[in-house]
Structure 1
Amino acid sequence: MYQRAGKVAYKADLQNTIDLDNHLGNPHRFYKTIHIAGTNGKGSTSHMIASVLQEAGYKVGLYTSPHLKDFRERIRINGTMCSEKFVIQFVEDHKDFFENHRLSFFEMTVGMAFQYFKEKQVDIAVIETGLGGRLDSTNIITPVIAAITNIDKDHTAILGNTYSQIAFEKAGIIKENVPVVIGEQRSFLKSRFRESAQNKNSLIHFIDQRSESLPTDLKGDYQKANSRLAVKVITLLNESKQVEITDKMIKDGLLQVAKTTGLQGRYQILDNEPKTIADTAHNVAGIKKVIKQVQNEVYEKLHIVLGMVSDKDAMSVIRLLPQKAHYYISRPDIPRGMEVEVLADFLDQGYLNYSAYDSVDQALKNAQMLAGVQDLILITGSTFVVAEII
C-alpha cells in the first residue's frame, strides 16, 4: 500500500482502474460526481462540500484518503463508513480479478468505493484524488464540476520538482466541457490552469482569496480558503441546476462539517488543560499554515509532538518550526516512518531542543507530563502521527 510503503506501491497508469471499472459495470456512471484535487486542503474542502449537500437532503458519497484509524473512513455515505461486511464481500467476489491483474491498493479501493456508492444509490459523490490528478486512480470519472485547491511541493519524486510540473499533474482532472474552480493564487500557475482549461473547453473560475468567507466549525484560519472554494463549487452547481441548495443550507452545512462527515485531524482540539491540538500537516505549505495558526494561540510554553515519513522534505519543514518550543520526536509506526535518529539530526541542524522516544504515544505522554495547564501541545508532522493519537 502506498499509504504504508510509499513510492514502490504507486502505479502511474490508469489501465488497471479502467479494467476494474469495466469489470464492475462502470459503477461511477450511476450518480453525479464532484472531483477535488490539490496539494493541501482537498480533504477539508471535500468534507465541506459533502456536509452542505447532506444539509440539503442529498444522499452523499464521500471518497477520501488516507484514513486515520479505520480503512472504512475512506468510503462514507452521509458521514457513515461503509460496512465491514461490504468490504469483505467485495474482496471475496473480485479476488481473482485483483490477483490476475495485479491491482494496487489504491486501484482496488477506488473500485470498491464506486461500487458501494452505486449499490447504495447515492445522489452525488464527492471524490478526492489520492495523489496528483492526471494518473490518479480516481481520474476515470467525468464529474459535473472539478476543483483544485492549491499547488505546493509534495510527493515530488512522483509529481515533479517544480510548481509547474505539479500543476500539470493536478490539472489532469480537468475534463472536456466540465467547469473547474481553482483556489491557487499565483499568476504563473493560474496561467497554467487557464491553458489546461482552454484545451478542454472547460469554463474556469478563480477564487478571490481576499473575499469574505463563511464560517465553519473546522478550526484554523487556513480553512477560510477551503470554505471559499467549497461555497463556489456549491454555488455553481446550484446555478447549473445540478442541485437545489439555499444560502441557509450552505451556512448550516459549513457549521457542522466535523459532526456531519466525521472529519478529524484538522487543527482538532483534543484537550483543554493543557490545550492539545492535532493537525495532519505533513509538508511545507501545511506546516507553515499550522504554525501561523499556533501564533494566534495564548500559552506559556509550546510543546510539539513531531514525527515524519521518510519521503518528505524534512529540512524545509524544520526551518519553519519555532525555536521557542520543546520537541518530542518519534518514528510513526509504518514502514515509511522516518527513523528517530534521522529526524533528530534534522532538528540538530535547526538548533531545536528535543527529546526522542520509542513511540508517538510515549512522546505525547511525556509532553503531557511536562506541560503546565497554561501550555500548548501541538501534535503534527504526519497523518500517521495524528492517527496514533486520536
Structure 2
Amino acid sequence: MCGRLRFRGAWIVPMPPNREDGRGENNMEPKNSIAEVRGIMLDYAALTGVSPPGKTPRRYLWTDAFALCNLLELFRQTNDGEWLDLALRLVDQVHHILGRHRSDDPRNGWISGLDEAEGESHPTRGGLRIGKRLNERGPGEPPDEPLEWEQDGQYFHYLTKWMHALSRMSRVTGVATYAGWAMELAQTAHAAFVPASRSGAKRMYWKMSIDLSRPLVPSMGQHDPLDGYVTYCELQASAAAPGLSLQFDLKAEIADMAAICRGKEWSTDDPLGIGGLLWDAWRIAQLTDMGGFRDTSLLESIVDAALAGLQAFAEGNPLKYPAAYRLAFRELGLSIGLKVIVPLRGWSEKNLENPLLRKIEALAGYLSLAEEIEGFWLEWRNRETETWREHREINMVMLATSLAPNGFLSI
C-alpha cells in the first residue's frame, strides 16, 4: 500500500487512487488487462534503466510521456507505491538527461543555459531533447532528410506529450511543482516554435535545435497547432484546479494557437494521426465540462476529420498485412484514440444536439478496430518480427496505454 514518498527532500502524500478530482471512472479498459500492463511496464523500466537504480538510463521523450501516464494509472488502480516511485524516478531521469546536453556534445550542463541550481529548480525552461541516437545537425551542415529522422533536437509534439504527462503527475500527487514545470515548458516551446512574423500571421516550425536557437525543419506539422492549442487549454485549466493554483498564464499562447488552427484541415489516413484527433476530441469534451473550452466548431471539425480518416483507413484495410509489414506503435496510437469513443458518446448525449451528436455516434462503428489491433499485438509471434524489435520500447509502452488508457486519456 502507498504511504508517503519523497519529492526534492520533502514528503508528499499522494491523492487517493481510484478517484480523479471527484469525476469518477471513465472505464475505458477491461479489468483483466492490468496484469498485462504491469508486466509490460516492469519490462520497460528494466529495459530503459528506470529500474533498478544505478543502471545507465536510456530516455526518449515521446515514449517516456506515455510511460509516465501508464505508471500513474498502475498506481491509481493498485494503490501500490512502487508505481509512483517509478514515476518519480522517471521524471527525474527525463529532466536530468533530456534537459541537459548530450555526452557527445562539446556543450555541457542544462540546455537552458541556467546554472546548476537554477536548472534544478526549472528543468524544463530550455525545453527537452528528443533523445535520438545521433547528435543534431550542425549549423553549417546541409539537410539530409533520411538522416534527420535519426538526429536529435526538439519536436513540439513530443514536448506537448510531456506537458500533459507532467500535468497528470501533478493531479495524482497533488504537487503543484509538476504543473509549474509543464507551464514553463509550454511558454518555452511556444516562444521557439511559433516565431514572430513581419506580417503578424503566426506559423510553426516542426523541429528545432537542441538549444532552440534555430529551426532544423522549418515546415509545420499538420496537427501541431491543434495539439498545442488543446494542450495549452488543458494546462491553463489544470493550473487553476483546487490546491494547485499557479501564477502562470497561457492566454496569449492559447490565442496564437487558436489563430493558427482557424480554417485548418485535420483529415489524415495515418492511424497515429487519427488516434491523436480522437484524443483531442475527448480532451475538448473534458475541458468543456471544466469551463476551459468553448469552441464547439473546432470539436465538429475534429470529429469530421476523424470520421474521414477512419473511413479511409478501414477501406484500405492495412490490418490485413502480416506483422513484418506493420508498425505497431502507429496502429496502437489509433487503438488508444478509439478508447475515447464510448465516453465521448456518453458525454455528447448529455451536452450536444444533432448533427454533431450523430457524427460522434457514427464513430462507434469503428470500435472493433481497437480490439483487432490489440489482439494482434498481444500475440507473441507478432512481437518477434524485426519491425517490432526495431521500435520495441515505444511499441511496448503504447500497447500498455491501449490496454489501460485512462492514465493517458484523462486530464
TM-score, L = length of structure 2 = 0.29
TM-score, L = length of structure 1 = 0.30
Give the structure with the higher percent helix: 2
